[in-house]
Structure 1
């Protein structure tokens, strides 16, 4: 349930951020993550569907809308079930397009101009290639192999396929009548995927009732969720040995839908789980014998087509027969997630803790909880970066751009589902707005210092350290060293050993391992929920420069030539002109500066030693996302100490991490000039 709530929150965050970015789109996390039907051992992908709302899909001519991209859904007697063709219709007159003026369109033999699903995917592939290597899987085009990203169009009008399913289900114990009523209003989606045996598979779009399927999944009780999850474990560990990856989670989901509909609700109790699994496998055996697994919602669709060949169907049928006759004994030998022991625990009516080397039940649950929280915060920070980049690229001033974006985000409060998510985004945007204003005030002869500090009070709770450190940096830049020192001491008390660093743009290998989050859990697990133990990287955009120590200004100008700027991928362009540093190294660097300003030499040298030991300790590697910047700060400390040789050494070490997009290039040149002047 926590995983489900977490991924629904993420899709709402992306939808609000999309509105702030003026994208007419809506985001949906479908699949096992948003359903809460995955486990650590299943290692499930993250499924994201992007629905483009600037395109109008017409079921008939009455649906035409002026000024929009209009496409009419077509099908005939030879079109496979679940598949549609999209005919181009003019924007400003309700007439069919006859001249191809869009590279994504093709002409059918009949003369109709069709919007090609294959060319649409090719366009998405070109966009994704700017952010990294592209992975394609069915309708998905993604630059992250762990994500399935599908760009689709929503269909809001009633469809005969859905109405036929609702008529068939009416009066049954499942799906409940309330679900069917909600399903009538739920949009379907057209995803770019043709039928494997169709003559028009490059032009066809597949109708996907994802939201209805999610409603069905959300209606499952805990026993049904466990049964479905075990089916996926069977698929992954047992079926894969027979037919590879030809069986999918959707096959398992369909078997669950069919079995639940045909089984009395009183049977769905945890002590019956082996019997219920047997019923699901008997359903699979029946459909394998018939050579057809029907789609639960859309009639006439065979889910084996294009997935499971006739030869593999026979092989799988033999194994399923053996599995059923053998009393499902093979299930007790599944090692993934220690499944065998968990199933045995159902019989002996007690929960067995994880074996040696595994996390215990309570620790595992809290570790997953922290992992989900980590993912939510990462999504928030990533979208914030995109929004700020767009604001800086616009014609308006940054302050006006942030103000306009805040106004857009506030509109999220009108939707009860988006309210909490909108508040998080507003809180972070206001923090940037406040910092930019403070930077501008620093250039004035008599800034209203009290007013600036008062504004910071409203945005100190974003995480453990981020805005506290920005406040301390501001105080230092104003010359209020004693106040800055007190603020830094407060951060140091909050920054306990179990705090985990989090970056919205970069990822450290292994940072999402459950063992990492298990090590963060203290004896008092409730403390995790009261104050999430995460610290964001501290970021200064150029308009906040006067709030940042001078050395960070070099980070805002990392590239030495225009050629280096041109080499950046789209992902890097969105943040490479900012100064960004991990919270803990920045804390100790600020302490070094502040104690120096106070004349506290002993404390200053101690802060330098702490900074050095933190950066050079390999145990902290997992918490340092910007090692090159941290080393630049360390080098600058030695430069201020007058030790140019050691400063140059650390700047050159920084260049080992990144030789081009690194402010160390500027530092090395400066220090080398200092050294040459000395001799």
Structure 2
């Protein structure tokens, strides 16, 4: 941002890699023959692979089995580890995934406090753990914990004014499951009558909150928002494709099951003591899911220690992460062909927990990766023989229940035996991320050049990195619009509302974990406040105007070009055309072909294509660590009307009837009363207006030609979210040129893309009146 002050000064002046893992000697060159053709030698190690004994007095009686590590496992392990780096499972990518999703959590925390949200969001699962690859196509897991419920383990935990729910269980309640008895808000006594559709009466007369009815309630709320098709899958109720969204309750009181696990793990090498201390303070959750064999499965809630499980995952070293990812690839590519998708990532995670707990830390090295994979499969074989995979934390839970039948368990056992016997030779036949071909010697040279349809490793890593940033910015803008929408809907003065939110965010910035996200919000809120002040004080004396313009320097950090375009628009609207041109020239230098447009309101097919983001990398590869180039849409809310060209006033009033307004989804309601335009079309449109105002006719016509060429080029559609608005702009250019028929054609084309909630309807009416008056 070195040039940021220069941009402001120009405007005012015109006013009247991380190193690789060490390898053992002799392992530098990759082995280029299948493992079956290698001479076998072996290393002998001692490891306990037996199932844990659940009674405390037998926990120390481990059976030690001598295992032989074939010598060729060394080369294959290093090759597999290197290939996992290449397909997006390296350390940098894994840590960036974690950081991104934790940042999204923190953003949700801050925005939740600003908008008065009664829930707290957490990201769990593979994406947030950094344990996925593009080929695994992992879902995004979001747990939204409702704050208005007070979950009690005892009536002494009751709180006045809260929705109080008492956790119940008896001798026939399955492990991990609870019933929730409804307790009055203003007296610590059980509710005796059904006053809510979500309540049911138990045979004993107790009034319970039904998990099934709670999910139905969440589904109805999501459907009422008209924000996509709502689907239920287990405890998840989601209206976003490839997202699992679970509505749950915090359990902040000590839980016996968790304490028992902590006591059982004390004194071991893993989990470490600090993790156990943190686990003791960590809340658990109740998610709406009953036991498949329970008589009360529609009423039961499942205890879920997600935060503890995340701490366990975050304690993994890179070899353990790669082992877990490899297990999931085996699960999806091989085991799913046997029994469908009934083996889950959570089964793989549980296998990892048990294996790490019972394996000496010195074994978790890169050159042992294949051996460790086999070790995990041997642990799975033990559990399959017993017909029970115990939950790692909560005792008495069989993770096969409701997932795998006895017949399916036997089929998997047979195949796992085959995998172990053949030293994982089926790895060479895995299609996910083209792993099998990459492992085979015949594919190594082709992969190094970058096979057809594949990204070179450095391009793939860069593409993933930019995609994560792009997704974060999308979510950020969506949350920012929520804040603005709520201020607009409130009875307070808009500027006062912005200032109040700014003060609240500044308070959050003192929390070290929230600082980065807080400053992102501060920059955007300050930029909006600045332009609103300009719009509402259009008759400011010149010194006051200059001071507000100078403040724009703080908003230039929001993205590459949209804040500069808004500055240029302000200068144009206030008659400072030479200053506007200087800013537009600066924008044109920055808004190059590698810049990716970002819009939180509209989805474009291809926005999740890693190739699109890899293409943003310069040919020299020098910018892999430089600041990525993203351009937000340029947005003018109604309070900024005097900072926008007049044509955008129609965009702020795009609906012609109340029926059109009623058709809007919840997301559309947050932005359709604003004017939004993609940065590049707005750049050319502003150039057309400004050069016209300066009388530079050739440059004005050139800007019009470039605008039309850009909009009509199909290759640019990946960066045009508001195509109907862009078409309206080129139509308006032709209208100002007096070519009314061409203008009418563009307005009508705009309606082909959006026939309602489109300002083109107003433009066509206006133009038809002009044409009729000329006849």
| Residue in 2 that maps onto 1:617 | 713
- Secondary structure of 1:11's counterpart equals helix
1:575 aligns with 2:692: no
Deviation at 1:103, TM superposition (A): 2.0
| Residues 384-414 of structure 1 deviation map (CA, whole Å, 9 limit, x = unaligned) | 0111111111111211111122222222123
In 1, the alpha carbon distance for the partners of 2:728 and 2:678 equals 12
Q: Structure 2 residue aligned with 1:35, among 129, 136, 144? A: 129
Say if 1:254 and 1:295, in contact at 8 Å, map to a contact too.
Answer: yes
**Residue in structure 2 matching 1:5, options 80, 99, 119:** 99
Aligned to 1:109: 203
Matching of residues 492-507 of structure 1 within 5 Å: 492-507=588-603
- 2:612 corresponding residue in structure 1: 516
Instruction: Report matched runs for 1:222-241 at 5 Å.
Output: 222-241=318-337
For residues 608 and 377 of structure 2, the distance between their equivalents in structure 1, rounded to whole angstroms, comes to: 34
- SS in structure 1 at match of 2:509: helix
Report SS of the residue matched to 1:171: coil
Supply the distance in 2 between the matched residues of 1:352 and 1:203 (Cα, whole angstroms): 55
Distance 2:548 2:200 in 1: 59
2:421 corresponds to 1:325: yes
* Counterpart in the other structure of 2:498: 402
Cα separation, 2, equivalents of 1:446 and 1:520: 42
Is 1:63 aligned to residue 157 of structure 2? yes
* Alpha-carbon displacement from aligned partner over 1:184-210 (angstroms, at most 9, x marks no partner): 111101111111111111111111000
**DSSP-derived class of the 2:341 partner:** coil
Give CA-to-partner distance per residue, 1:89-120, whole Å, 9 cap, x none.
11221111112222211111111111111111
Query: 1:105-184 alignment to 2 at 5 Å?
Result: 105-129=199-223, 130=225, 131-184=227-280
Pairs within 5 Å for 1:401-480: 401-442=497-538, 448-480=544-576
**Larger Rg belongs to:** 2
| CA–CA separation in structure 1 for the residues paired with 2:153 and 2:651 | 53
CA distance in 1, matches of 2:397, 2:363: 29
Q: How many angstroms does 1:353 deviate by?
A: 6.5
- Checking the alignment, whether the CA contact within 8 Å between 1:341 and 1:352 is kept in structure 2 is no
Q: 1:553 Cα shift?
A: 0.7
TM-score, structure 1 normalization? 0.97
Which region of structure 1 is more displaced relative to structure 2, 442-451 or 301-310?
442-451
- State the 1:487 CA deviation: 0.6
Equivalent in the alignment of 1:82: 176
2: CA distance, partners of 1:409 / 1:124: 30
**1:360 corresponds to 2:485:** no
2:390 counterpart (286, 294, 310): 294
Alpha-carbon offset, residue 259 of structure 1: 0.8
Name the structure 2 match of 1:645: 741
Partner SS state of residue 145, structure 1:
coil
Within 1, Cα distance between the matches of 2:539 and 2:656? 27
Q: Root-mean-square deviation (CA), in Å? A: 1.8
Mapped partners of 2:362, 2:740: distance in 1: 77
How far did 1:527 drift? 3.3
CA distance in 2, matches of 1:614, 1:391: 36
- Following superposition, the deviation at residue 453 of structure 1 comes to 0.2
Say if 2:113 is the partner of 1:19: yes
Does the 8 Å contact 1:48/1:150 carry over to 2? yes
Q: Match of 1:183, SS? A: helix
In structure 1, the gaps of 5 or more residues are none
Name whichever of 355-364 and 152-161 sits farther off: 355-364
Does 2:623 align with 1:527?
yes
Give the whole-Å Cα distance in 2 for the aligned partners of 1:403 and 1:127. 32
Q: Separation in 1 of the partners of 2:613 and 2:234?
A: 33
Partner Cα distance (1:443, 1:304) in 2: 72
Q: Give the C-alpha shift of residue 313 in structure 1.
A: 1.2
Instruction: Give 1:548 shift.
Output: 0.6
Structure 1 residues 57, 526: CA separation in 2 closer, same or farther (over 3 Å shift)?
A: farther
Q: Tell me whether 1:95 sits opposite 2:189 in the alignment.
A: yes
- Residues 550 and 214 (structure 1 numbering): CA distance in 2 closer, same or farther, change over 3 Å? same
Bigger Cα displacement from structure 2, 624-633 vs 10-19: 10-19
Q: Check conservation: 1:21, 1:390, Cα contact below 8 A.
A: yes
Distance 1:193 1:401 in 2: 41
Aligned equivalents of 1:528, 1:636: Cα separation in 2: 40
- 2:244 aligns to what SS in structure 1? strand
Deviation of 1:530 (Å) = 3.5
**How many residue pairs were aligned?**
678
Segments of structure 2 that go 5 or more residues without pairing to the other structure are 1-94
User: Could you tell me how far 1:445 is from its partner in structure 2?
Assistant: 7.5
Structure 1 window deviating more from structure 2 (217-226 vs 411-420): it is 411-420
Return the offset for 1:356.
3.8
1:340 shift after superposition = 2.7
- CA shift digits 1:160-199 (9 cap, x unpaired): 1111111111111111111111111111011111111111
Relative to structure 1, the CA distance from residue 633 to residue 42 in structure 2 (aligned partners, 3 Å threshold; closer, same or farther) is same
| Pairs within 5 Å for 1:188-199 | 188-199=284-295
1:333 shift after superposition: 1.1
| Match in the other structure for 2:17 | none
Structure number with the bigger relative contact order (C-alpha 8 A, sep ≥ 6) is: 2
SS at match of 1:79: coil
Per the alignment, residue 358 of structure 2 pairs with: 262
Are the aligned partners of 1:132 and 1:143 in contact in 2 as well (CA < 8 Å)?
Answer: yes
Are residues 1:283 and 2:376 paired?
Answer: no
- For 1:574 and 1:119, the matched residues in 2 are separated by 30
Partner residue, 2:697: 601
Q: How far off is 1:529 after superposition?
A: 4.1
Question: CA 1:445–1:649 in 2, change beyond 3 Å: closer, same or farther?
Answer: farther
